[in-house]
Amino acid sequence: MTSKTPVIQTNALTKVYKSGRKQKRALFNLDLTVQQGEIFGYLGPNGAGKTTTIRILLDLIRPTTGHASMLGLDVERHSVELHQRIGFLPAELSLWDNLTANEVVHYVSSVRGGHDANYVANLADRLEFDMSKSVRSYSSGNKRKLGLILAMMNKPELLILDEPTSGLDPLMQQIFLQLMREVRDDGRSVFLSSHILNEVQEICDRVGILRDGQLKEVKTVSELTHSDFRWVTLQYRDPPQIGNLATIPGVSDISISGNKLKLRLIGDFDPLIRTLDAQYIVDMDVQEPSLEEIFLTYYGDTHAMQGSHQMSEEV
């Protein structure tokens, strides 16, 4: 594989599920490219098509139309070879309850073609994970740690991770982020589906936003968060008056708390500043939107996340 060969490439990938006379389009004309040596975040709410994409890439299901390749190889014709060269962590992990973690590692290693024993020991140590216990004794968080070790144990060229930190405590989540940075520093690649947007914002080089099976945007995290709107917080000497603020083009979502007024601004500052002349302003703070706020602009209220960070995937 040359450095210019994408680790993931899809062309017009479409998947339609049929049930009797009914049809559900899970993916439509997906054109996606993931480059070598990058961490790519794949975002979308429940039913957007993230897991369908992953299942096609792993040749667990076949597309209705279109084509996909990984590491320069067709995912259908070379699925056996690809499964030896990639690491995969599914959202729902099924393991062998009667085996110890060590036994699971050795069994999967025999299928995949080997593993790095020293690296496995290092991963277990950093994740504070006891490899000697049986799978049935592990909590959901510890099963997630074992899933990460299985995905990473042979230092694959590409990691495909579906909700990798689900069930991990905040400290383990930070360790996971550091492990992913090390994978990238090693020149390898990560395809990461996650509902934890601040996690994605912290480590991903680029982000793809999926809606109703269609790829709506692919940008760097920096490009996404430098959006066309900003949050402006004004601190007044006296309780602020909204006055004509609501009539200014580009101003919305005005709220007042004590002597502070917060608003959402699209476009230039000049019309806003001209309107503020009559009131004494002590301080002004301007913030770029978070990745979560950017995400919500693509979905609106009908696709709003459940809670502050919920985007679980069913399709």
Residue 144 scores a pLDDT above 50:
yes
pTM: 0.76
| Mean pLDDT across 60-70 | 96
Q: Which tens digits make up the pLDDT trace of 248-307?
A: 888 888 888 888 988 888 877 888 887 776 778 889 888 776 666 666 666 654 344 333
Q: Which tens digits make up the pLDDT trace of 146-193?
A: 999 999 999 999 999 998 888 888 899 999 999 999 999 999 999 998
| Mean pLDDT across 235-258 | 84
Of the candidate ranges 28-32, 83-87, 116-120, 270-274, the one whose mean pLDDT is the lowest? 270-274
Helix axes 117-126, 170-185, angle to 10 degrees: 150
Closest Cα to residue 248, out of 232, 225, 237, 260? 232
| Per-residue pLDDT at 174 | 92
> Over the chain, what is the mean pLDDT?
85
Give the domains, in start order, of the chain with CATH numbers: 8-224 (3.40.50.300), 228-287 (3.30.70)
Handedness of CA 120, 126, 132, 135 (dihedral sign): negative
Percent residues over pLDDT 90 in the chain: 47
Closest Cα to residue 191, out of 100, 29, 26, 57? 57
Spatial contact of 189 and 42, defined as CB atoms under 8 Å apart: no
